[in-house]
Amino acid sequence: QNIVSESDWDDFMAALKRPLPVSFRITGSHRDASDLREYMKKVHFPALQGFDIDGEVINPPNPIEWYPNQLAWQFDCSRTALRKSPKVKAFHSFLMSETNVGNISRQEVVSMIPVMFLDVKPSHYLILFTYRCAAPGSKTAQLLEAIHNVGENYDSETLADGLVVANDSNYERSQMLVHQAKRLQSPCLLVTNHDGQEFPRVFLTDRHSTEGATVLQFDRILCDVPCSGDGTMRKNKTIWRTWTHANGNGLHRLQKQILQRGCELLKIGGRIVYSTCTFNPIENEATSIFCLTVFGNTGALRLVDVSADLPQLTRRSGLTTWKVMDKSGAMFDTFDSENESHRTTLAPTFFPPKNVDELGLNNCMRVYPYMQNGGGFFVAVIEKVASIGTMDNYSIPKEERVSRSSEKVFLDSQTTTDTTAAETPAKSDELKAENTNEPILNENLKRPSNEEQR
């Protein structure tokens, strides 16, 4: 597959067998973030200088070079050392107490990457799709920090204009997400519990406007989709025993559906980041380029070249060629070469398309464990530059909207459920929903003013 070059293979395997270091972020939207960083360096780091525990050399945490303002750190220390050494225990207690009050967030290094490429502004509306996330809340907290981060003009009494919608498909995890986000005390968060591929349309209204209701679309979307997880081998040892190529093949359809729904919910001019923690090109590159053509307008969505962003982040470009394995272990280069008997088990979207060189897959990013002493990760940055003919021009006339406002709200039936059916783009005259009970929100009620807050 050439996922890792032959020259890097030994480093790759050696990194996978080492435990992950501890990593954490200082909450950058807090006014005293720099003070906390300097306190940590002055008070705790001297005690961690060059000593060993049972042969394990302990050194102070190192800043993550590509993360701004030295607000993210990595501490290469085992759990055994944390338990045995009073010096390390003191630092661990500091991390725990600051985490509980929202000044620090524990987060794996590669998990910090997707939000950094969203280019979030305080006025943006964002939605995060998570599914079976191992640590609910870390990316949500990072998005909230970005919404509230106004640099030197920080004012704790001024609310950001933006909104973060954090959606998780699992109810219990959604509750955990609320619990984790409480530490940041942000009024700009809305937690929802839907399957990402079936996230409903929400309509915004303005009671002072003569216009009809408009569909809510987002400036930025993060699709952190379910994946086979082989990039997490350093922390999830069971992957070594349970991984099979069939895992990725089975998840490909769901990944396409979630990304497709994200593209529909994205504003024209908006940006969506698709991320996984797997090395599998069927779950990565194949899913990313699917959304470029599924809507019929091949120029409406494009993969963005972000190679100049975060130059200190070591990465590799996306793959343009890969093979696909069926249940018997046979390998195929193209869908056309597949045996007729296997056509029901392998989808055409598993394979690189014929025009793969024109789609910009080199703009995707692959991060390997030996590069940043972290996990494996894949990131694709996608922009919508034109209408894809779904929700981009959808609205409800005012007279119809008034009649709906008293009705019970439930899920819109026009969500994406089958990408095979969605490969033919919907016509504009087919966009009227059969179910007329979409959620309707009043924009004037979205948040009290600063005066009302005080």
- Say what the pLDDT of residue 341 is: 57
* 141 marked ligand binding residue: no
* 330 marked ligand binding residue: no
136 with 62, same domain: the answer is: no
- Say what the pLDDT of residue 228 is: 94
Task: Give phi and psi for 266, each to the nearest 5.
Answer: -85, 140
157 with 66, same domain: the answer is: no
Q: Which of the listed residues 362, 384, 406 is the one where a domain comes to its end? A: 384
* 76 marked ligand binding residue: no
Output the CA–CA distances (angstroms, integers) from residue 425 to 222, 260, 291, 420, 445, in the order listed: 23, 12, 12, 11, 35
Q: Which of the listed residues 82, 106, 130 is the one where a domain comes to its end? A: 106
For residue 30, the surrounding DSSP H or E stretch is none
- Say what the pLDDT of residue 11 is: 95
Tokens of 89: 């225990």
Q: Could you list the residue range(s) of the whole structural domain that residue 63 is in? A: 21-106
| Domain assignment of residue 450, yes or no | no
* 224 marked ligand binding residue: yes
- Say what the pLDDT of residue 88 is: 82
Q: Which of the listed residues 366, 384, 402 is the one where a domain comes to its end? A: 384
Tokens of 442: 């009043």
Q: Which residues of 383-419 are buried (b: 16+ CB within 10 A; e: fewer)?
A: ebeeebbbbbebbbeeeebeebeeeeeebbebbbeeb
| Domain assignment of residue 413, yes or no | no
* 138 marked ligand binding residue: yes
| Domain assignment of residue 197, yes or no | yes
* 133 marked ligand binding residue: yes
The one catalytic residue among 223, 227, 263, 277: 277
| Domain assignment of residue 406, yes or no | no
* 246 marked ligand binding residue: no
130 with 98, same domain: the answer is: no
- Say what the pLDDT of residue 395 is: 56
Task: Give phi and psi for 381, each to the nearest 5.
Answer: -105, 120
86 with 150, same domain: the answer is: no
| Domain assignment of residue 437, yes or no | no
Mean pLDDT in order along the chain per 10 residues (454 residues):
91 93 86 90 87 76 94 84 76 90 91 95 92 74 86 58 92 89 88 93 74 85 94 92 91 95 94 96 96 81 95 95 88 76 79 90 96 94 88 60 39 39 33 34 42 43
102 with 205, same domain: the answer is: no
Task: Give phi and psi for 315, each to the nearest 5.
Answer: -155, 170
128 with 27, same domain: the answer is: no
| Domain assignment of residue 183, yes or no | yes
Active site residue 277: yes
288 with 354, same domain: the answer is: yes
Q: Which residues contact 37 (CB under 8 A, 6 or more apart)?
A: 26, 69, 70, 71
Domain count for the chain, please give it: 2
| Domain assignment of residue 291, yes or no | yes
* 188 marked ligand binding residue: no
62 with 120, same domain: the answer is: no
Looking at residue 297, which CATH number applies to its domain? 3.40.50.150
| Domain assignment of residue 308, yes or no | yes
